[in-house]
Each structure stands twice: as C-alpha cells, then as structure tokens.
C-alpha cells in the first residue's frame, strides 16, 4: 500500500494505550501494574489488532495490492479468470512383443531423485505394438505444471507392468507444461482491461482476449490484414519463444474457430481472425578472439556468453531490431568475458531488422 490513511497511522498497542491513559485524570494511578493500566491494556491490544486488520482489508480490496484468492475475486469483477496450470504432453515409444496392446491410461514415469519426485504420465489413446517391435504413443502429465516438461530419455519406467512391453522411453522432450498464472501476470491483465479504451473488437480487445489463453505472452494484432473484416494475431508464448502449434490452435479456437468470422469465439461477427506464430529468423553470432578473465574456464565463459546472447535476442519482439552494439554490450557483461573482437551476425556486422511477423532466435555461436 502506497500510503496509509491518517486514521490508521501509528495505531500500535503502545500508542493506543498511551492515548487512553492520557485521557484519564492525572491524579489517578496509571502506572504499569495499576488497576487502570491492567484494565485498559487488553482493550488497547484489541484496538491495535483491529487497526492491523483494517489495513489488511484495504490492502486486499485493491487490485494493485491484493493477492491470491482475493485477487481472483477482483478479477471476476472485470470478467477475467486466472489462467490455470497446463499439463505437459509428448510422445513415448513403447518397445516389446508385436501385437501387445497398450491400454489407454497406461502410466509411465521418470526416475525419482533426492532433488525431485518422479513425474508420471498417462497414455491418451490405446495402441498396439507394430511388427517393428515398437510404437509411439501420445502421453499427458498427470499433474499440470512446468515439472512435466522433461528432457528426452527421461521417461523410462512403467508404473505398473504390462505384459509384452520390454522398455519405454521418450525420444523428444515433453512440452507445454505451465504453472498457474502468477498474481503479477493476472494483476497486469486486470489493469490492462481496466485502462483500455471502450470498444467491441478493437486492437486492445484482441490483445486481452489472446492473453486469456494459458501460455500466451506477447500479442501483436494486425487489423485489415487481408482487407476489411480480416485480423491477424501473432503470438509468442509466455517465455517469449515461438509458440507451439497446439498453443496457436488454442488461441485460434478461442478467438474465431476455423477463422470463419461467424462470432463463435471472442471475436465479433464479421471479423475473420487468423492466429499465427511469427516466422523464425535464425541468427548465428561470430565472436572473434574471445579473452577469458582469470578464474574462469573457457567453457564456463562460453556458456555465460551464449546465455546472455540468447536472453538478449529473446527480448527483441517481432518487428524489433537486433542491434550489434546492444548484443556486444550484453556479451561484454557476461561473467568471465574479458575482451573480444567485432561481433558479426550471420557473417556481417549489421543490425537485423525484423518484420512484424518475424522472431529472432539464436541458432549458434561461432568462435574464431
């Protein structure tokens, strides 16, 4: 809370008790342990507690300062709902005897460690092992959240044995697992809605609607994309990365199913919406004559440099500019970097200007 109202300032037990004692005649015994002091002290405690809870009522009553379930209640007043956690999905390869049936709901998991419990997945459809001796089966994490995003080769256990299956593994990472929307993110969406211009299908509406889908971060709205009645919505995920096809499809379904413009989604009748991921622009950085500070290994510094470069490039939104000077600045500040030569991007020393439907990604770093 920025500032307490005057009537709530200095409402401590000590100040309240002193005011009560000061209001009594001076010829009475008001010393600690006296009858009067003992009689007023409990009341002062309760009044101080009441003041504390009054402050809490104020704090929980405003979007800017409330939290948790109280923020959810304020969000409902604006027609906004906290985005729920999302379970990760992926594909698991089952190997075993040809013809073995893998029932829908078969449970597989990662290995539990001291640092993290096992992550359990369930198959989402029935499958039969083919003549090749294996079959790929889609799975979904049983618990929603980012813990379900596991690396390739992590899912290697059958929770309950299935006759005819000899091994399981995931050859690619599971993805799409998201935590429940944070208070800060929900608060920002409420305030964005509260401050936007009134409208029914203006640009701000499309940005707000798209962000109501779990996993959406950046949103760019291009009205009149292909003439009157058409709108293009370009999105990134909440981490600023190229969104998955599933996320693009979810936003399309939410705004305008099938892009038909018949008002079956959030978009008004007559607005044909196309939701797309930006085109990926791969950037390869060349770092000449890298010098390393004392106390660091070359591999450590390269890892720090690449993390810094990736974070900078990730921060550049579609339609932005990847600047050589900015890239050099973040690399220079990476831990362990002492010096380096002129940075090149895709072989030349030149800024990269992105179109509104382009997103830069770091393809690699070359050291010369």
What is the residue extent of each domain of the chain? 6-61, 89-169, 203-277, 281-367
DSSP 79: T
Burial 278-288 (b: 16+ CB within 10 A, else e): beebebebbbe
- Which residues of the chain are modeled with pLDDT < 70? 1-7, 197-199
| DSSP states along 131-198 | TTSEEEEEEEESS-SGGG---TT---EESS--TTEEEEE-SS--B--BPPPPHHHHHHHHHHHHHSPP
**Gap between the Cα atoms of 92 and 133, Å rounded:** 14
Contact in structure between 260 and 267 (CB atoms under 8 Å): no
Other Cβ atoms within 10 Å of 324 Cβ, number: 18
- Three-state DSSP class for residue 102: strand
Strand partners, 226: none
Alpha-carbon span 130 to 279, nearest angstrom: 37
| pTM, full prediction | 0.65
Do the Cβ atoms of 290 and 283 come closer than 8 Å?
A: no
Among all chains, which residue has been given the structure tokens 């072989």? 347
Six token digits for residue 174: 């599971």
Q: How far is CA 350 from CA 39, 107, 280, 344, in A?
A: 79, 52, 18, 7
CA pair distance 307, 302, nearest whole angstrom: 8
pLDDT of residue 339: 95
Through-space distance between the first and last CA atoms of the chain, rounded to whole angstroms:
54
């Amino acid at each position: 809370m920025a500032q307490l109202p005057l009537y709530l300032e200095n409402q401590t037990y000590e100040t309240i008790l002193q005011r009560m004692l000061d209001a009594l005649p001076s010829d009475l015994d008001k010393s600690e342990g006296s009858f009067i002091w003992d009689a007023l002290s409990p009341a002062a405690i309760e009044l101080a507690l009441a003041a504390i809870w009054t402050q809490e009522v104020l704090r929980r009553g405003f979007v800017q300062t409330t939290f948790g379930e109280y923020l959810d209640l304020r969000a409902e007043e604006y027609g906004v709902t906290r985005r729920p956690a999302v379970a990760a999905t992926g594909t698991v390869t089952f190997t075993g005897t040809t013809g073995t049936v893998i029932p829908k709901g078969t449970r597989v998991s990662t290995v539990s460690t001291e640092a993290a419990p096992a992550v359990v997945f369930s198959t989402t459809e029935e499958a039969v092992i083919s003549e090749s001796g294996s079959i790929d089966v889609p799975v979904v994490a049983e618990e929603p959240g980012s813990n379900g995003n596991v690396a390739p080769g992590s899912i290697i256990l059958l929770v309950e044995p299935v006759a005819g299956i000899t091994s399981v593994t995931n050859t690619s990472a599971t993805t799409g697992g998201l935590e429940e929307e944070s208070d800060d993110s929900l608060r920002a969406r409420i305030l964005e809605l509260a401050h936007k211009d009134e409208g029914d299908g203006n640009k701000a509406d499309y940005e707000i609607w798209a962000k109501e889908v779990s996993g959406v971060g950046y949103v760019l709205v291009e009205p009149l994309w292909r003439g009157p009645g058409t709108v293009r919505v370009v999105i990134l995920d909440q981490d600023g990365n190229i969104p998955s096809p599933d996320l693009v499809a979810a936003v399309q379904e939410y705004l305008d199913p099938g892009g038909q413009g018949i008002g079956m989604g959030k978009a008004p009748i007559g607005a044909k919406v196309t939701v797309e991921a930006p085109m990926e622009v791969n950037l390869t950085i060349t770092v000449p004559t890298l010098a390393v500070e004392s106390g660091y290994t070359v591999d450590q510094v390269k890892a720090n440099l690449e993390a810094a470069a990736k974070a900078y490039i990730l921060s550049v939104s579609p339609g932005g500019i990847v600047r050589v000077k900015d890239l050099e600045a973040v690399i220079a500040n990476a831990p362990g970097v002492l010096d380096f030569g002129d940075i090149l991007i895709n072989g030349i020393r030149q800024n990269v200007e992105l179109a509104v439907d382009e997103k830069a990604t770091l393809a690699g770093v070359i050291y010369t």
